[in-house]
Amino acid sequence: MVDHCTTSAPLISIGVPVYNGAAFLVPALESLLAQTVSDLEIVISDNGSTDATEQLCREVAARDPRVLYVRQPTNYGGAANFNAVFALRHPGARYFKWAAADDVHEPGYLAAVLQLLESDPTVSVAHSRTDDVDEHGGHVRAWGDQSLEADHPDVAVRFASLSQRNYQCFSIFGLMRAEVLASTRGLGLYSESDRVLLAELSLRGRLVDVPEVLFHRRQHAGRSVRQYRTARERIAWFNPRLVGRPVFPEWRLGRGYLEAVLRAPLSTVDRTRCMAQMLRWTRLRTPHLVRNVLRSALDLAAGRVAWRGTRPRPGTPAGHPPTRALLP
């Protein structure tokens, strides 16, 4: 646990979960520290890196008191580390965002998305347009409108769009109201749970982008989506404890969406309408649900997976003591 009693609360807390991210870590952190909104903290949770990540983080933390570095004793998996940086935030921070250890933000990013949140209480997540850059920062491609309806005023329309369409989950790195994110279950310890979390956030408000490209996603060989091509393979990133066990990725997604609807602070009418969208999701995904069962049965019969151990419990691992206070 981190003691925040003697520190003043920042307006924004930025959580940077990292594992062996030394290659692009410094420019990623520098782009956050150079934001025109300076009332912030950066909380880094190092998932037991074996490269130069620890040294680089400690050097940055020594130069800027807004940086907190926590090293986890082992690699708990990407999802648990995302939840860890949120748990380690200053409890008085009004806003929170996740930031990857390889992406780059323009200096005006926070000012632009903060303005959206502070001017419109119906917004739960604010992000910007995105482009892709290569290892050297060169432009690769621009991402336009993904034809989502995440900013629609109707909650059932938002939920249907985010649960039933295929899209890039850029908004998981948007600025969020900390109290709204705290009311969710966070990132689930299963593949594609970022989609479930965005859908759950849409049940609490709109997801809106500013039109300028202020967020640069780094494309490189070490990205998890390149190392793990399918949902079954990506479980190794989300939750290593499930590797070698039947994982039923589509069933886990469906359960996540359903629980999100049941937990959300919705009126009876809106909850019913969102439940109707879950019925539609089930109809659309029935072939995938059936394939999940057949695939797992074949894997069990062939000995490729096994029912063993206990199910990992959701939660945040305890971190080592920080190298310094969050703020002076």
Separation of alpha carbons 68 and 78, rounded Å: 19
Close Cβ partners of 136 (under 8 Å, ≥ 6 residues apart)? none
Task: Please report the pLDDT score of residue 317 as a whole number.
Answer: 37
C-alpha to C-alpha distance for 15 and 76, rounded to whole angstroms: 16
Nearest in space to 83 (alpha carbons), one of 68, 98, 101: 98
**Which among 82, 44, 51, 87 is positioned nearest to 324, based on CA atoms?**
44
Chain mean position to CA 88? 15
**H or E element at residue 69:** strand 67-71
The pLDDT value recorded for residue 328 is 24
Helix, strand, coil shares of the chain, percent, nearest 5, are 40, 15, 40
Phi, psi of 211, rounded to the nearest 5 degrees: -75, -20
Tell me the average confidence (pLDDT) per consecutive run of 10 residues in the chain, 328 residues long.
68 97 96 98 97 97 97 92 97 98 97 98 97 93 90 98 95 97 95 95 98 94 65 78 87 97 98 98 96 93 78 38 32
Q: How many CB atoms lie within 10 A of CB 18?
A: 26
| Whole-structure pTM value | 0.89
Measured CA to CA, the distance from residue 90 to residue 40 in angstroms comes to 10
Query: Quick check: 199 and 162 in contact, CB under 8 A?
Result: yes
- The residue extents of the domains of the chain are 12-225, 241-302
- Locus of tokens 């025109």: 36
- Residue-wise over 181-190: b if at least 16 C-beta within 10 A, else e? bebbebbbbb
Q: What is the pLDDT of residue 224?
A: 63
Class assignment of domain 12-225? alpha beta
